Chain A
Amino acid sequence: MNDMTPTREQRSAALEGMGCKRKRVEDIRFTQGKGNYVDDVKLPGMLHGDFVRSPHPHARVKKIDDSEALKVPGVLAVITAETLKTVNLAWMPTLAGDVQMVLADGKVLFQNQEVAFVVATDRYAADDGINKVVVEYEPLPPLVDPFKSMDKDAPVLREDLAGKTSGAHGPRKHHNHIFEWTVGDKDLTDAAFNKADVKIKEMISYHRTHPSPLETCQCVCSFDKIKGELTIYGTFQAPHVIRTVVSLIAKLPEQKIHVIAPDIGGGFGNKVGAYPGYICAAVASIVTGKPVKWVEDRIENLTATSFARDYHMTTEVAATKDGKVTGLRVHVLADHGAFDACADPSKWPAGFFNIVTGSYDFPTAHLAVDGVYTNKAPGGVAYRCSFRVTEAAYCIERAMDILAQKLNMDPAELRLKNFIKPEQFPYHSALGWEYDSGDYHTAMRKMMETTGYAALRKEQTEKRAAFARGETREIMGLGVSFFTEIVGAGPSKNCDILGIAMFDSCEIRMHPTGAGIARVGSKSQGQGHETTWAQIIATEIGIPADNIMVEEGNTDTAPYGLGTYGSRSTPVAGAAIAMAARKIKAKAQMIAAYKLEVHEDDLEFDIDGFRVKGLPEKFMSMKDICWAAYNSVPPGMEPGLEAVSYYDPPNMTYPFGAYLCVMDIDVDTGVYKVRRFYALDDCGTRINPMIIEGQVHGGLTEAFAIAMGQEIRYDEVGNVVTGSFMDFFMPTAVETPHWETDFTVTPSPHHPIGAKGVGESPNVGGVPAFSNAVNDAFSFLGSTHIQMPHDFWRNWKAAKALGAVA
């Protein structure tokens, strides 16, 4: 070989495949303001729609008078429930098996509910029109506290459900009850509690919050009357599902609906569901014959589309006196707001909350979840989490700390004592899951060693003594969190959305010159799929990632996929990509064998082509094979080089991680300072470490926001009081802590490339780390549990309640 021949390392590096910190393809356009987001879509003759919204949380709608609005220059139409009834769209099905008003039909059930849709020539005229629509309301008593939902005398919220004693998920116990979901062995769990040495019980609330991506929800709907075709540009995390839902509810043939999700400015679960704005814009386009744009403003986003969490979890743990857990019992009161619009797989009314046994070997557990209606916005989306997994992780991680406190054990030691052991995988949990792989002890010990955990505990002891002596007013908390996630929904045996199995898909088409296009059923909202998906293909087939264009979001061209949320893209779409690439590679091998005049079995894949075993000089590059695929394939073989894969995962994947938050709190002001935050994540095989680190930073920042202040709050009469970024905590660069990241690698045994998914881990693990730090700081003053969010005021209140402040 001469000096010019690239080394194996150079050939491998040239691919920019898996494991490489490849710079993002997307950034070239995004840094130049050339992204194409929904609000950038401008069609000829396009109109704008905007909502009249209810000022009341609960009221009867007596009359809607649009006569003055229709006189406003530029206003073309005012759509109400009565208009929608003519096309049978006044109500729409939710993903959770409930129905939801598109526009107020007889009454309103939450503040800022959509009442009428004003269509005008521009967004200013639409706003003028809104101000002229006169709605007459008769206020009704609001139901705000979910704990009062099932009171005997609680107001009836959903009159449409009168007499319905069962819903999509079984029997209803009360007119404001949605479902009860139980999992696990009650008798065995009761028995474990009866003979337990030690028990703890705590009501742990996870407050209502909101994903609030920087780009709000929006769409442009354009109906072509001649062709009978509807084109929808929208902020959709799951464009194919939207197409199917629109087809089913609007009774349009599915091939005549074109859904395009262009660049999306963050999703975090907010953009999974279907919202009244989409339906109204589509109907308005059908009615007017013009394209109609609907762009939500920030107040509407925070108050009307898709809150997250609002779980109130009464949690009990049974244990032996030396700290071995023997049973877990959890009852959840789930506040779903006015309609059950949770974006969970259809058969899972509380998502995957039954991952609540966490990383611990609980011999038995029992879980019951009651969903109730209140006069609040509908939603219940997975805000950067996989279907209620973050609620579950918070519940168990808080409970383990409370148990440690009761046993006077170190929280890290208690966890180490109860972890599922490496040799127990695949592990069957008491609540029905099969964990694929894990090495929790290694991750935990690495966290403890890297952070100097023992020394930090020693410092805390000294600081507490100094506090007791009156030498400092600052207290110190160590927040330990060890989470196990369940992501990659999911296997068709247990996951579907409205009957569609939760597979994902990829189509790869290689061109003659050794370049190609991959179309995928997932949809990036910032995760960088155009970059990472090409890396998987690069490693699998030996074509440089730069030569692979990735396309998502156009339902006419991409194969059917269930979209991007719940950290499912790498586990499911990522697998489909690898499988499609392997089909390409298999055909390429046949072509190479033909061209090199050997048997296929005599070839081995070598980085970027096939080599004859034992004859290193006989080599055909993938680039050359691509060319050959278009002119000299073996006799009987079809020309071309493309493949499609629909991947139905055999199991979920179970990423995990060990986090530590070190926090100092001034008791006199409640002001906290995150001194240090360390996050070790194990997401299996790592495709692009740069992007993983970025995902972890972002997820931790959202966890920080949620734990330390970010709340959708209602007052006692149902007014939402957190309607802007002034009131809803959005951390800036100043408040946001510095993040330290680390990792271990435990590949998933059932995933084609061993990857598990990472986007949501930091949010799932981060929230308990922050909350445990605050609770750990206060614990020596006698508290067991302080509810989130832990803002300065609440910290000060806690200090005062515990007698630390006069």
Chain B
Amino acid sequence: MAKTHVTMKVNGAEVEGLVEPRTLLVHFIRENLQMTGTHIGCETTHCGACTVDIDGMSVKSCTMFAVQAEGSDITTVEGMANADGTLSALQEGFRMMHGLQCGFCTPGMIMRAHRLLKENASPSEQEIRMGISGNICRCTGYQNIVKAIQYAAAKINGVEFREAAE
């Protein structure tokens, strides 16, 4: 099948590649760019394991063609750590609050939470639950993911994190 040349920015770096028109963005990221942090859980846009940030929006990269991302600015989980290599507030929050177990949904969950906190710097529990409802986690029951995002929000906002009373 004839291939198309695509260029885009991923985690701050200009990248390019040859793809079939039908190549899914997630496959371009995983196979061509060899960034395997973005996962595939369902291929039907239900689970959110493939969530990346494109031009300021959370997008499920399993149901977007690579050619549709031409010229866009993409952030994946590989671009989330602080510049000095330390864990970002969200990554730290997930670890501190035990917001992950098998780790398979985590990259997508972190990418979604990243955009959520950009949209709403101090979300309530209900806003967080609604905000991540496009991302499925089979391990945690979400309770600690909510806390992880609250932890990150507090850290980003420079306020003390208080765990919700049980």
CB-nearest residue of chain A to B132 = A733
B residues in contact with A739, CB < 8 Å = 141, 143
Contact B46 A698 (CB under 8 A): no
Contact B143 A32 (CB under 8 A): no
Contact A297 B43 (CB under 8 A): yes
CB-nearest residue of chain B to A125 = B1
Q: How large is the interface on A (under 10, 10 to 19, 20 to 34, 35 or more residues)?
A: 35 or more
A residues in contact with B66, CB < 8 Å = none
Contact B39 A37 (CB under 8 A): yes
Q: Assuming A33-B77, A214-B41, is B132 touching A698 (CB within 8 A)?
A: no
A residues in contact with B115, CB < 8 Å = none
A225 CA / B20 CA spacing, docked (Å): 33
Contact A733 B37 (CB under 8 A): no
Contact A528 B101 (CB under 8 A): yes
Contact B22 A697 (CB under 8 A): no
Contact B101 A527 (CB under 8 A): yes
A688 CA / B99 CA spacing, docked (Å): 15
CB distance from B165 to the nearest CB of A (A): 11
Contact B98 A691 (CB under 8 A): yes
Number of A-B contacts (CB under 8 A): 179
B144 interfacial contact with A, CB 8 Å: yes
Contact A733 B98 (CB under 8 A): no
CB distance from A6 to the nearest CB of B (A): 25
Chain A positions 646 through 690: 1 when the CB is less than 8 Å from some CB of chain B, otherwise 0: 000000000000000000000000000000000000000000001
A80 interfacial contact with B, CB 8 Å: no
A266 CA / B106 CA spacing, docked (Å): 12
Q: Assuming A214-B41, A526-B103, is B95 touching A28 (CB within 8 A)?
A: yes
Contact B78 A26 (CB under 8 A): no
B137 interfacial contact with A, CB 8 Å: yes
B87 interfacial contact with A, CB 8 Å: yes
Contact of B36 (CB < 8 Å), options: A39, A124, A734: A39
A203 interfacial contact with B, CB 8 Å: no
Q: Assuming A214-B137, A298-B42, A701-B141, is B98 touching A32 (CB within 8 A)?
A: no
Contact B43 A733 (CB under 8 A): no
Contact B139 A698 (CB under 8 A): yes
Contact A263 B101 (CB under 8 A): no
Q: Assuming A31-B91, A33-B37, A724-B44, is B103 touching A702 (CB within 8 A)?
A: no
Interface size counted on chain B using CB atoms at 8 A: 60
Within 8 A of A (CB), among B17-61: 20, 22-23, 27, 30-31, 34-44, 46-47, 49
CB distance from B115 to the nearest CB of A (A): 15
Contact A213 B138 (CB under 8 A): yes
Contact A27 B100 (CB under 8 A): yes
A150 CA / B111 CA spacing, docked (Å): 52
A24 interfacial contact with B, CB 8 Å: yes
A residues in contact with B20, CB < 8 Å = 124
Contact A264 B102 (CB under 8 A): yes
B residues in contact with A27, CB < 8 Å = 94-95, 100, 103
Contact of A733 (CB < 8 Å), options: B23, B42, B146: B146
Q: Assuming A24-B95, A213-B138, is B87 touching A31 (CB within 8 A)?
A: yes
* Chain B interface residues toward A at CB < 8 A: 1, 20, 22-23, 27, 30-31, 34-44, 46-47, 49, 76-78, 80-81, 87, 91, 94-96, 98, 100-107, 110, 128-130, 132-146, 166
Q: Can you list 10 A-B contacts (CB < 8 A)? A: A39-B39, A123-B27, A124-B1, A124-B20, A214-B105, A691-B98, A694-B101, A701-B142, A732-B136, A733-B130
* Chain A interface residues toward B at CB < 8 A: 23-24, 26-37, 39-40, 42, 73, 123-124, 212-216, 263-266, 268, 297-298, 525-528, 690-691, 693-695, 697-698, 700-702, 724-726, 730, 732-734, 736, 738-741
